[in-house]
Amino acid sequence: MKRKFLAASAAAAMTFGVAASTVDAGGPPAGTGERGKPVGIECMQHGLGLLRSLGAPAQVSRDVIRLPLNVVLALHREDPEAAAGVLEDFGLPPGPCLTD
């Protein structure tokens, strides 16, 4: 009885593993821009680089911009043009956040 249960469990596990590995992604994820990167990722990386150049990103974000780091990064990722405006207000280069 024990052997049959173990054999059935192993067969089910192998079947599930094979089925899971054959799922097709069906192309790039939703919201991707050029070269498969999510839209706004270059702007977010630019903003994070600027924060790093000014010190510890979380502390600079909190003390200078007066917003938590996750909010600042989300702004760069989700609305690059608004992020470019904020950067320009602080006298920083907008970089890839400013789109033509």
| pLDDT exceeds 80 at position 93 | yes
What are the pLDDT digits (tens) for 7-48? 555 555 555 554 444 445 555 555 555 566 666 888 888 888
Q: Residues 68-76: contacts with CB within 8 Å, 24+ apart? A: 72/47, 73/44, 73/47, 73/48, 76/40, 76/43, 76/44, 76/46, 76/47, 76/48
Whole-structure pTM value: 0.58
